[in-house]
Chains A and B, each alone.
Chain A
């Protein structure tokens, strides 16, 4: 460009490129940021937004996988869903397992992080080791834990028997199956949360502990009154993350059941989660009820959004408490 204008008429040549450059610079400042972030939004709209919208559309139809004709049936699927006791059972199970796995998990993670924050022998080794469950395959974890929790020859019952506890049918009981699944979730995620806490703990100023020590606080009181309050935002972050994960619980529960039960999550749907129920309607049986499954998916979206809102209000309350 510049070569051409250089050989042309001098008066114009100076003005035109300058204006053009100015325009380019303005465009650069205005457009480039959008260009830079566009890959995410392009990919998101293809793999996120479109499926979301399409699922919403399918949820308003009676579509099944193999039937050739699709009818628009409005909100009929949602009306059915509201009266579907299996759906509400799945909601209950999901929240039950979430509560049972998240609360002890985060408490344990806090304790572990606190211990790892002290001057421990081979500290780096322990800090690495705590993250090991994260690198294992989810399927392998589920399969191995399912073996451990088997009734007749499971290791857990074997150990319990040594203490005189009678064999427990982990899979068939409602509460016991929740416990078994929570253990799987905890085993995998406790180390991850502990590491996040540890990182946050290391940013707490040493002076606070010194001041507390001067005030006569022992280590336990320091932990309760200095560490935990300072970690509040981090704790909230982990709560949100584990909520999203917990509401989508699928693999552990799906592999915990026997191969013949087609996604029902136990003979009496003791531990069928929302996503498992979605799967059962979608592909787990010969019905392939896409419309109904899509309605379940959208209800799950609404539930997560609802929970997100609750979390949002909690966060803003904590913030106002801090200031």
Chain B
């Protein structure tokens, strides 16, 4: 018995020593080789698909010694993890993507980021629409990030359902039919009269509301950064129109990104959905068989932005210069055009939006709609909207409020009241 124990003890000791030696020597080997070849690995943290993979390969080929590693996650966990990594001072990648809903959170915390002016970003200002540029500029003029895409708006609609309900099916005719949102609801009323059984004109009240909020100038925040949800007549008008759509039974009342909503794309339970440019990819993913059934028309009320991102370089980065160079490469007009053609994310640079490649681009899935022209026009028409740090929370609160009305939990009045209360809590 004793000898077995002893033997086992000795075995453990041997294993431990071997393990330690292996680790130490492994480290030293790694360190030596890194020093010899002066290799740099740049890490980039994005959410969803930014469509950069081929661009990484290009960049690696033209910059020997640089390896690029991408981490990707879902939208919400990505931004949560980013906040944790920045606050704890460890774990952030060299390059971090930040969506517009969160960017105001970080322009007020610019000490976590490299000022890209240090690496010649000021020269790139001309490229961007002023509003897109300003969104990533802190109060102390630090340039926190460079813009990637914009989420300019269109209306995606089911051609087949429109036809059955006796509505025009051509994008141009529809653009004339709904120059404003109230005209849009009137079209919905027409649709609902002869609607195919079980279908509604609009997928979800909150999608309608968010699109209107995206167009409002100002929206939730005033120019001076004050929360004006309660006093801004544009917010209340958007709310009232949404309530009207629910009252007129034009709204399917689905929860965006939930199971029934996803299935709705496939089964055609709603005729329209407000479409930021990035939504195209989502619809194709949900309903690959519905190719040719969807089309895209201009959004009521002119331009509007919903989504879009920025690339930033964190102060935690060990290779800030190289990371900044990569950010410049990825946000260059050439790279952005490439991404648009392959993934559908709409570039934010003005010259690209005006370029022939984008304006002539058609999407076969969406009945060959001139998506490049529609979205580029919407982006160029866009009026800037001041953003604030709790933008995302207000959106969650409004989405919940609208759903409470859709699900008959609350009256519109009570839901509005609770929405204002939630806004006060979130901004307090």
A68 to B426, CA, bound (A): 19
Contact indicator per residue, chain B 386-415, by CB within 8 Å of chain A (1) or not (0) = 000111110010011111100101100000
- Residues on A with C-beta less than 8 A from B396 are 260-262, 264, 285
Closest to B74 in A: A259
B346 CB to closest chain A CB (Å) equals: 22
Known contacts A259-B258, A260-B399, A268 near B409 by CB under 8 Å: yes
Q: Is A96 an interface residue (CB 8 A)?
A: no
Identify the interface centre among A147, A264, A287: most chain B CB within 10 Å of its CB.
A287
Q: Is B274 an interface residue (CB 8 A)?
A: no
- Residues on B with C-beta less than 8 A from A267 are 255, 399-404, 407, 409
Are A152 and B269 in touch, CB under 8 angstroms? Answer: yes
Are B407 and A65 in touch, CB under 8 angstroms? Answer: no
**Interface residue ranges of B139-180 to A (CB < 8 Å):** none
Closest to B109 in A: A66
Are B390 and A286 in touch, CB under 8 angstroms? Answer: yes
Q: Is B54 an interface residue (CB 8 A)?
A: no
Closest to A150 in B: B259
A25 CB to closest chain B CB (Å) equals: 18
**Interface residue ranges of A256-275 to B (CB < 8 Å):** 258-262, 264, 267-268, 270
Are B393 and A286 in touch, CB under 8 angstroms? Answer: yes
Q: Is B260 an interface residue (CB 8 A)?
A: yes
Closest to A84 in B: B425
- Residues on A with C-beta less than 8 A from B389 are 286
Could you say which of A65, A258, A262, A286 contacts B255, with CB atoms under 8 Å apart? A258
Pick from B18-26, B78-86, B232-240, B299-307 the stretch touching chain A: B78-86
A258 to B255, CA, bound (A): 7
Are B259 and A147 in touch, CB under 8 angstroms? Answer: yes
**Interface residue ranges of B83-100 to A (CB < 8 Å):** 83-84, 86-87
A62 CB to closest chain B CB (Å) equals: 11
A270 to B400, CA, bound (A): 11
Known contacts A264-B396, A286-B102, A287-B393, A152 near B258 by CB under 8 Å: no
A79 to B105, CA, bound (A): 28
**Interface residue ranges of B193-207 to A (CB < 8 Å):** 206
A104 to B407, CA, bound (A): 29
- Residues on B with C-beta less than 8 A from A65 are 83-84, 87
Identify the interface centre among B102, B259, B399: most chain A CB within 10 Å of its CB.
B259
Are A172 and B109 in touch, CB under 8 angstroms? Answer: no
Identify the interface centre among A146, A152, A169, A270: most chain B CB within 10 Å of its CB.
A152
Are B426 and A146 in touch, CB under 8 angstroms? Answer: no
Contact indicator per residue, chain A 123-153, by CB within 8 Å of chain B (1) or not (0) = 0000000000000000000000011001111
Are A283 and B80 in touch, CB under 8 angstroms? Answer: yes
Could you say which of B87, B206, B390, B391 contacts A287, with CB atoms under 8 Å apart? B390
Q: Is B263 an interface residue (CB 8 A)?
A: yes
A6 CB to closest chain B CB (Å) equals: 23
A183 CB to closest chain B CB (Å) equals: 16
- Residues on B with C-beta less than 8 A from A258 are 255-258
Q: Report the interface size for chain A: residues with CB under 8 A from the other chain.
A: 27
Q: Is A288 an interface residue (CB 8 A)?
A: yes
Are A260 and B255 in touch, CB under 8 angstroms? Answer: yes
A35 CB to closest chain B CB (Å) equals: 16
Could you say which of A68, A152, A262, A288 contacts B83, with CB atoms under 8 Å apart? A288
Are B393 and A262 in touch, CB under 8 angstroms? Answer: yes
A171 to B255, CA, bound (A): 10
A146 to B260, CA, bound (A): 10
- Residues on A with C-beta less than 8 A from B426 are 285-287
Known contacts A65-B83, A262-B396, A268-B400, A150 near B260 by CB under 8 Å: yes
Q: Is B291 an interface residue (CB 8 A)?
A: no
A152 to B262, CA, bound (A): 11
Are B410 and A260 in touch, CB under 8 angstroms? Answer: no
- Residues on A with C-beta less than 8 A from B267 are 152-153
A304 to B205, CA, bound (A): 40
Are A66 and B259 in touch, CB under 8 angstroms? Answer: no
A83 to B109, CA, bound (A): 31
B114 CB to closest chain A CB (Å) equals: 17
Are B260 and A151 in touch, CB under 8 angstroms? Answer: yes
Could you say which of A151, A268, A286 contacts B392, with CB atoms under 8 Å apart? A286
Q: Is B76 an interface residue (CB 8 A)?
A: yes
**Interface residue ranges of B310-329 to A (CB < 8 Å):** none
A283 CB to closest chain B CB (Å) equals: 5
Q: Is B292 an interface residue (CB 8 A)?
A: no
Q: Is B264 an interface residue (CB 8 A)?
A: yes
Are A260 and B392 in touch, CB under 8 angstroms? Answer: no
Contact indicator per residue, chain A 163-175, by CB within 8 Å of chain B (1) or not (0) = 0000001011000
B198 CB to closest chain A CB (Å) equals: 9
A52 to B76, CA, bound (A): 27
Known contacts A150-B260, A267-B409, A262 near B76 by CB under 8 Å: yes
Could you say which of A66, A68, A147, A150 contacts B105, with CB atoms under 8 Å apart? A66
Closest to A86 in B: B425
Are B105 and A146 in touch, CB under 8 angstroms? Answer: no
- Residues on B with C-beta less than 8 A from A270 are 409
- Residues on A with C-beta less than 8 A from B76 are 259, 262
Closest to B101 in A: A286
A171 to B389, CA, bound (A): 30
**Interface residue ranges of B340-381 to A (CB < 8 Å):** none
Could you say which of A152, A268, A283 contacts B263, with CB atoms under 8 Å apart? A152
Known contacts A153-B267, A268-B409, A261 near B392 by CB under 8 Å: no
Are A153 and B393 in touch, CB under 8 angstroms? Answer: no
- Residues on B with C-beta less than 8 A from A287 are 390, 393, 426
A150 to B263, CA, bound (A): 10
Could you say which of A146, A169, A285, A288 contacts B259, with CB atoms under 8 Å apart? A146
- Residues on A with C-beta less than 8 A from B393 are 262, 285-287
**Interface residue ranges of A54-93 to B (CB < 8 Å):** 65-66, 68
B83 CB to closest chain A CB (Å) equals: 5
Besides A152-B260, A172-B409, 9 other A-B contacts (C-beta < 8 A): A65-B84, A66-B87, A146-B259, A152-B269, A153-B267, A171-B258, A172-B403, A262-B76, A268-B400
8 cross-chain pairs, A with B, having the tightest CB-CB distances, nearest first: A267-B403, A172-B407, A258-B258, A150-B259, A258-B255, A267-B400, A259-B257, A152-B260
| Complex A-B: 14 CB contacts under 8 Å | A66-B83, A66-B86, A66-B105, A152-B260, A171-B255, A258-B256, A258-B257, A262-B76, A267-B401, A268-B400, A268-B407, A285-B393, A286-B392, A287-B393
